């Protein structure tokens, strides 16, 4: 079976299972253990109910409802030791305005396994940070970014310009010739080498940082070579209130993440898994339109960029 047909098969299966859960299934008591989530994360979230679905080899979706806090959390775990898994930033620069993440996933094709919303944006539909998508780059700000290109591990952290080149950690991007690097901006950086970045804006912007809101974040566990996408539902009192930035950073630390970035949140917070919307957006009208999204893709052609003998470089289940 091809990667393309297998992914759409998972989309149909996941959509059917999720609709059944929402309609009638009571919470698990006690919740089934999910050792893949890790003890620290289970202690932090104190699950009352949890669901686990394998979307594709190396990509796992989890929904966790806390029994201690009014949190509903959606997690995508991506095994970056697999050479066929990577990322694309889907952008709406050719569209008159904004579109939903679900629509961006549909347009990107069946190789997309999962996705979340991306950067904050202006009233003129421009991302506030740097964006690189399929060789097209826009924005020159100094906000932190998530960046990836085939054959490299993800970079989460500051982006610096020097003589027309973009410096991303240990590697350099030449906007004039680099057609492989995918970049999405966010704000603020949450973790650097496992520690908070400053006070996470609590003093400067308390209504934004120290109040619970729906959130979206991306984080990378260097030790396990695992990337996490996180969406927290919010604005439902007593059920799903969202997280503060310190609470979100604490969750990422419990997952083993070393570097993490906050993406756009509020009504923009969306997660699509296996072709289906899996979280509950906070806007009354449902999913909000946005200017870009971060997609997880399964593409065997990525493996050609891996150095011989690096990582597992495997495509086997």
Query: Using an 8 Å Cβ cutoff, are 81 and 310 in contact?
Result: no
Q: Is the pLDDT of residue 27 over 50?
A: no
Q: What is the pTM of this model?
A: 0.88
DSSP state string for 260-278: EEE---GGG--EEETTEE-
Q: Please state which of the ranges 62-71, 166-175, 218-227, 262-271 shows the lowest mean pLDDT.
A: 166-175
Q: Is the pLDDT of residue 24 over 80?
A: no
Say how far apart CA 143 and CA 160 lie, in whole Å: 9
pLDDT band at 176 (very low <50, low <70, confident <90, very high): confident
| Per-residue model confidence (pLDDT) at position 28 | 45
Q: 148-165: per-residue pLDDT in tens?
A: 999 999 999 999 999 889
Q: Which residues pair with 262 in a beta bridge?
A: 217
pLDDT band at 307 (very low <50, low <70, confident <90, very high): confident
pLDDT band at 7 (very low <50, low <70, confident <90, very high): very low
Q: Please state which of the ranges 9-23, 93-107, 190-204, 244-258 shows the lowest mean pLDDT.
A: 9-23
| Per-residue model confidence (pLDDT) at position 299 | 96
Q: Which of 131, 122, 137 is nearest to 184 (CA)?
A: 131
- Other C-beta atoms lying within 10 Å of the C-beta of residue 4: 12
Most confident of 95-109, 168-182, 289-303: 289-303
Find the distance separating the first CA and the last CA of the chain, reported in whole Å: 13
| Per-residue model confidence (pLDDT) at position 1 | 43
Q: Is the pLDDT of residue 294 over 70?
A: yes
| Per-residue model confidence (pLDDT) at position 310 | 56
Q: 74-113: per-residue pLDDT in tens?
A: 999 999 999 999 999 999 876 667 999 999 999 999 999 9
Average pLDDT across the chain, whole number? 88
């Amino acid at each position: 079976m091809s990667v393309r047909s297998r992914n759409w098969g998972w989309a149909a299966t996941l959509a059917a299972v999720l609709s059944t859960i929402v309609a009638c299934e009571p919470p698990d008591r006690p919740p089934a253990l999910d050792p893949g989530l890790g003890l620290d994360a289970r202690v932090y979230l104190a699950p009352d109910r949890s669901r686990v679905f394998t979307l594709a080899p190396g990509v796992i979706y989890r929904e966790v409802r806390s029994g201690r806090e009014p949190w509903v959390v959606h997690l995508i775990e991506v095994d970056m030791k697999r050479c066929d898994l990577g990322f694309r930033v889907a952008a709406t620069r050719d569209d008159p305005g904004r579109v939903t993440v679900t629509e961006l996933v549909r347009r990107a094709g069946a190789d997309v396994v999962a996705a979340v919303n991306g950067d904050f944006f202006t009233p003129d539909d421009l991302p506030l940070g740097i964006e690189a998508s399929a060789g097209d780059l826009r924005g020159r700000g100094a906000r932190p970014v998530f960046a990836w290109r085939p054959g490299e591990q993800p970079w989460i952290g500051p982006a610096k310009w020097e003589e027309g080149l973009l410096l991303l950690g240990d590697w350099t991007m030449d906007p004039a010739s680099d057609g492989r690097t995918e970049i999405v901006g966010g704000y603020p950086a949450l973790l650097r080498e496992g520690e908070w970045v400053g006070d996470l804006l609590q003093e400067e912007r308390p209504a934004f940082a120290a109040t619970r809101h729906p959130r979206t974040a991306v984080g990378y566990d260097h030790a396990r070579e695992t990337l996490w996408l996180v969406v927290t539902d919010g604005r439902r009192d007593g059920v799903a209130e969202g997280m503060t930035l310190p609470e979100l950073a604490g969750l990422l630390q419990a997952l083993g993440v070393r570097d993490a970035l906050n993406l756009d949140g509020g009504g923009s917070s969306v997660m699509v898994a296996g072709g289906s919307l899996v979280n509950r957006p906070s806007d009354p009208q449902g999913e909000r339109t946005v200017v870009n999204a971060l997609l997880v893709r399964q593409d065997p052609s990525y493996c050609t960029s891996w150095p011989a003998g690096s990582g597992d470089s495997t495509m086997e289940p």
